[in-house]
A and B are shown apart, each in its own frame.
Chain A
Amino acid sequence: MSTPEADLSLFIPIIQTNPLAWKMRQNASGFAPLNQKYGQNDKEEYNEGDALHRALEHIRTVKEKGAVEERHLQTVEDIAWKSGLAPEDIDTLLDVALSGPFDLPILLQYLIPTAFGLVQHPADGPTQWVPNPTADHCWATAEAVKTRMLKCLIPATLIPESAVVRAFSRLCASNCSNNTKVLFFRWLIAMFDFIDGKEEMNSLYGFFFSFLQEETMSCYICNFLYLLTKRENVKPFRVRKLLEFQSKVGMQPYLQALLSLYRSFCPDLITISLPPKRKFYFKTTDSIWQAAVCIVKERNQKSPLPSVKLTIGTAYSHPQKKKWNSGCVIPMPTSSHVSKEEQDEEGDSSSLEVMLSGQKSFPLEQLHTFSQLLDNIQDVELPSQMCSVLKSAPLLHYLNCIQDETVWLRLSYWMSQELKEGCTWCKVSNYTSEEEFRKFLDIIISAQCFLQEGFPSSEVFLYKSLPLWDGISCRTEYLQLLSWIPLGNFSEIKPLLCDSLTQLFFTSSIYHKCSVLYSLKQLLENWLLWHAMKVSMKSTLSISADTPMIALNSVSELIYYVGWLSTIALRLEKNSSFLLHFILDFFEMVSDMYLNYNLPLVVIFPRGVFYPALLTSDSIALNRLCYIMYRYRVNLTASKENALIYQERLKFNKTYQEFNEYVTALVDCLWTSTSFEKDHYLYIDPQILEKTKIREYKKSLNLINHPALLPYSINFLLQVKGWPNEKELSLSSIQKKKWNWYLDYLLLEELHGLHLFMESSLDIADSASSAHTHPAHKTPKTCMSEPV
């Protein structure tokens, strides 16, 4: 490994990347100074191109070596290092440089026109070369010239694949010196990503492979093969050859890299154990060339190199480093069938996939729609970087329908790693900022929403990181993970989730409480949807009988838990109406569980939620409460028909009793004004109430005087003022006819919930006469406490 390197170092000139040095060099060579900025003006551009052509022309026509030729070679070098060479010039130079140890002028005479396609194919000529008396001298000179030529092969845009193939065939045919070969391969490795196609090169894989036997260059060949290898190149005989070679030279890192690549393609062929991964397998690619390409690129900024990334070479040479830098970056899914131009910006991180994915597969870059997926579903091959499927909707569809367990394992392994590494509050992470982690969570969440199920790894991550979470960083995203916890046994979830969540919930701000409640509502919704889907699939699939029971228990326990949280949160936040809305949101869904989600379960909200909502000063909350009560009634009435509930009617009796209690309380408060009387839930000793000095305290919570409805009643009175003969505003004047007008007015003010509740829960039988009677005569219509 060290010997070729030592030899080579003699041949690597120190290239000054300093523009001043170039300028001086140009001046010394006696040429007209070339402009610093390529393409700055037409005349200079012409000069440069002209000079190059003149130089090549001259080299072609010259008969003897000497100053002239040297000058022209110099010109070519200067131009190459400055603005790069066009594809056809590279073709020419490569051809010349590798055609064998000729006397250069003769060689040029043969080859330059050939390269331009003027005379017969050079393969006829060069092989008949016989050493002449001055061979030694000529040989040495030719070697030096070739080296210089190879070194100045800096592409301005791309390198044609055909040129490389031809050069390689020439390299095989003629007996080039080892140094030339090594230099050629080093050039190939450095410029690998600038070659416009790899297919033809890949078809020469066997020839490249045979070069491995030459120990001096095996390190470069390995590196090159590492870049070139595709799945179908890995053959048993090659593996044998490699292992044989390995036993000869020992476990060299470059060989190890190639072996591990082979093993990743065909694990069944390579059974030997390889040492753990290293950070660097290969020597870094030649930096002079890189620097030169950089400078050329910089100069030609007006015509940038098409989609070529300099990092590609380095990314290959130390794949581990890439991982460290990438953080939570998710590449686009790619496969092998695109040319360089089509690849997007992510090309460098996905180039491994380009090699890994098979020949016949449908290019993933072109997979955009569901119909495309349907047409090509047999040809779709998942990318090697599983994470990239998260961004592609058709691939997620595909993932959803394949039965392969390993695919999910790969995905969840990667995801749990990334989540662990990226989580800013669990681990000091230099690679990801909070912003990046948030984006990463967003991608996971959108994938989960798409698949309508949570990833197991994100669930585990949630349980692990929740105790350490501060409740603020990435709140929206993190809590969304919570809403995708799969429906399971709640007693298993509870110790993992609820303990930390409860502590956090009680010690954090009201906004945090609201967002937790919101995500718990989404969790409930997801569970209900899953359950509904399972029930609908039950006819086709045989599901064990206890599955619905587990689901029922989990859902009811979740509702109890949220009810408990809400009760205490309302106390903590002093019955904040903002919080109350989130709680009522949750219970609005709960009230409609039976009809909307076909779940044979009705869970009534706790008193801790009902009474704060009843005694609120927020009319919207009161309206929503009435609406929820109305929905409860509809659901309870419907559930009487359900066989399962009928079986468990003893358990449900309690639900009916609770509901009836609430209905009575609501009607007592708003209509009959009897809530403070004996045997009612809000009973308070009249003596105490007398002490408050409130006149008519009994009526203080009815539809007119309720703190939430007071503005409405006053507004109503202001509108009907003067009717008939009103002198002053008196709330008690809303009676009889006016009472009915008032109810209509409330409906006009969009208090639909109140209206619906009134229609459903009040005895409508006497509604005709109610216009003339006092509202207090109405009686609440409670639900029958026992199912029929």
Chain B
Amino acid sequence: MALLRPLDKLPTLDVATILLLGAEETLLEQLGVAIIKACEGSAKVQVHVASCLPLPTDRECFRPRIDLIVFVLSLRSKYSLRTVEASLPHVDASFFLGKVCFLVTGVRQEPNASIHMDTVRKMATTYHSPLLFGDLEVECFRASVAQRLIQILQICAGHVPGLSALNLLSLMKPSLELTTQET
């Protein structure tokens, strides 16, 4: 099937599933390992890694419901940006209600960047999705990125009572008027 939908399958009990998507597969795998390691013993998390969308249809029936899609792109390669851009149309619009986030890596080597930071920022605002930064090549930064992704994933999978993915998205939206919250 062409479109990836968030709610076309039933969730697995107590399991949250994250899909990491990007051209740099070794980095994604390392990040996946870091995520699994970070939530060892505390929560059940499944990590799926893909280089592009659409996902192959033959194993569709074995695939669990995906709670969060993370688009990983590196500032150093235009190819990674193109891959992400090509994959985005294959994601159902309802995913963008908080179940997508962009992760930008390679920020520390900004002088060597082939993609401007603004391009990425613009893309994130266009798709109303949060933008995270983190260098996946360094162990400690990878671990902290994994921690943050787990936090988001827990909410997206509905494991945090009283908060939904859309709720979180609206909270993290930059142009939020705080004073109106008080009334």
* Chain A residues in the interface with B (C-beta under 8 A): 425-428, 434, 467-468, 470-473, 494-495, 498-499, 502-504, 506-509, 557, 560-561, 563-564, 568, 571-572, 574, 606
Is B148 in contact with A428, judged by CB distance below 8 angstroms? no
CB neighbours of B144 from chain A (8 A)? 470-473
Across the interface, B135 reaches (CB within 8 A) one of A425, A498, A509, namely A425
Query: A468-B107, A508-B148, A509-B151 in contact; A557/B172 too (CB < 8 A)?
Result: no
CB neighbours of B179 from chain A (8 A)? 557, 560
CB neighbours of B148 from chain A (8 A)? 470-471, 504, 507-508
Binds A, one of B1-9, B51-59, B159-167: B159-167
**Taking the nearest CB of chain B, how far is it from the CB of A424, in angstroms?**
8
Across the interface, B182 reaches (CB within 8 A) one of A470, A502, A563, namely A563
Across the interface, A568 reaches (CB within 8 A) one of B130, B149, B171, namely B171
Is A470 in contact with B145, judged by CB distance below 8 angstroms? yes
Interface residue B41 (Cβ < 8 Å from any Cβ of A): no
Complex A-B: 30 CB contacts under 8 Å: A425-B108, A425-B141, A426-B107, A427-B108, A468-B107, A470-B134, A470-B140, A470-B144, A470-B145, A470-B148, A471-B148, A472-B140, A472-B144, A494-B178, A495-B174, A499-B174, A502-B176, A503-B130, A506-B171, A506-B172, A507-B148, A507-B172, A508-B148, A560-B178, A560-B179, A563-B182, A564-B182, A571-B162, A572-B160, A574-B160
**Taking the nearest CB of chain A, how far is it from the CB of B120, in angstroms?**
11
* CB-nearest residue of chain B to A509: B147
Is A428 in contact with B160, judged by CB distance below 8 angstroms? no
**Taking the nearest CB of chain A, how far is it from the CB of B168, in angstroms?**
7
The 3 A-B residue pairs whose C-beta atoms are closest, nearest first, are A470-B144, A499-B174, A507-B148
Query: A503-B172, A571-B163 in contact; A473/B151 too (CB < 8 A)?
Result: no
CB neighbours of A560 from chain B (8 A)? 178-179, 181-182
CB neighbours of A427 from chain B (8 A)? 108, 110
* Chain B residues in the interface with A (C-beta under 8 A): 107-110, 130, 132-135, 140-141, 143-145, 147-149, 151-152, 155, 160-163, 168, 171-172, 174, 176, 178-179, 181-182
Is A467 in contact with B160, judged by CB distance below 8 angstroms? no
CB neighbours of A498 from chain B (8 A)? 178
CB neighbours of B178 from chain A (8 A)? 494, 498, 557, 560-561, 564
Is A428 in contact with B163, judged by CB distance below 8 angstroms? no
CB neighbours of B147 from chain A (8 A)? 472, 508-509
* CB-nearest residue of chain A to B121: A467
Bound-state CA distance A622–B104 (Å) is: 43
CB neighbours of B132 from chain A (8 A)? 503, 507
CB neighbours of A495 from chain B (8 A)? 174
Bound-state CA distance A425–B141 (Å) is: 8
Is A507 in contact with B107, judged by CB distance below 8 angstroms? no
For B109, B148, B152, B168, which residue has the most chain A Cβ atoms within 10 angstroms? B148
Bound-state CA distance A561–B181 (Å) is: 9
CB neighbours of A506 from chain B (8 A)? 151, 168, 171-172
**Taking the nearest CB of chain B, how far is it from the CB of A768, in angstroms?**
41
* CB-nearest residue of chain A to B149: A507
CB neighbours of B130 from chain A (8 A)? 503, 507
**Taking the nearest CB of chain B, how far is it from the CB of A606, in angstroms?**
7
For B108, B134, B145, B168, which residue has the most chain A Cβ atoms within 10 angstroms? B108
* CB-nearest residue of chain A to B179: A560
**Taking the nearest CB of chain B, how far is it from the CB of A613, in angstroms?**
17
**Taking the nearest CB of chain A, how far is it from the CB of B117, in angstroms?**
9
Query: A470-B134, A564-B181 in contact; A508/B109 too (CB < 8 A)?
Result: no
Is B162 in contact with A428, judged by CB distance below 8 angstroms? no
Is A507 in contact with B151, judged by CB distance below 8 angstroms? yes
Bound-state CA distance A507–B144 (Å) is: 10
CB neighbours of A503 from chain B (8 A)? 130, 132, 172
Known: A473-B141, A494-B178, A506-B171. 6 other contacts (CB 8 A): A428-B109, A509-B151, A557-B178, A560-B178, A572-B160, A572-B163
**Taking the nearest CB of chain B, how far is it from the CB of A780, in angstroms?**
24
**Taking the nearest CB of chain A, how far is it from the CB of B166, in angstroms?**
14
Is A470 in contact with B141, judged by CB distance below 8 angstroms? yes
Is A508 in contact with B140, judged by CB distance below 8 angstroms? no
* CB-nearest residue of chain A to B109: A428
Bound-state CA distance A574–B154 (Å) is: 13
Is B171 in contact with A467, judged by CB distance below 8 angstroms? no
CB neighbours of B140 from chain A (8 A)? 434, 470, 472-473
Bound-state CA distance A506–B130 (Å) is: 12
CB neighbours of A428 from chain B (8 A)? 108-109
Bound-state CA distance A502–B143 (Å) is: 20
Bound-state CA distance A561–B177 (Å) is: 10
**Taking the nearest CB of chain B, how far is it from the CB of A375, in angstroms?**
49
Query: A564-B178, A572-B163 in contact; A502/B133 too (CB < 8 A)?
Result: no
Bound-state CA distance A591–B137 (Å) is: 46
**Taking the nearest CB of chain B, how far is it from the CB of A428, in angstroms?**
5
Bound-state CA distance A507–B172 (Å) is: 9
CB neighbours of A557 from chain B (8 A)? 178-179
Bound-state CA distance A249–B27 (Å) is: 57
Bound-state CA distance A470–B105 (Å) is: 12
**Taking the nearest CB of chain B, how far is it from the CB of A622, in angstroms?**
22
CB neighbours of B141 from chain A (8 A)? 425, 470, 473
Across the interface, B152 reaches (CB within 8 A) one of A425, A434, A507, A568, namely A507
* CB-nearest residue of chain A to B181: A564
**Taking the nearest CB of chain A, how far is it from the CB of B163, in angstroms?**
6
**Taking the nearest CB of chain B, how far is it from the CB of A611, in angstroms?**
13
Bound-state CA distance A509–B39 (Å) is: 12
**Taking the nearest CB of chain B, how far is it from the CB of A339, in angstroms?**
45
Bound-state CA distance A473–B139 (Å) is: 12
Bound-state CA distance A455–B174 (Å) is: 26
CB neighbours of B174 from chain A (8 A)? 495, 499
CB neighbours of B109 from chain A (8 A)? 428
Is B161 in contact with A426, judged by CB distance below 8 angstroms? no
Is B171 in contact with A502, judged by CB distance below 8 angstroms? yes
Bound-state CA distance A425–B133 (Å) is: 10
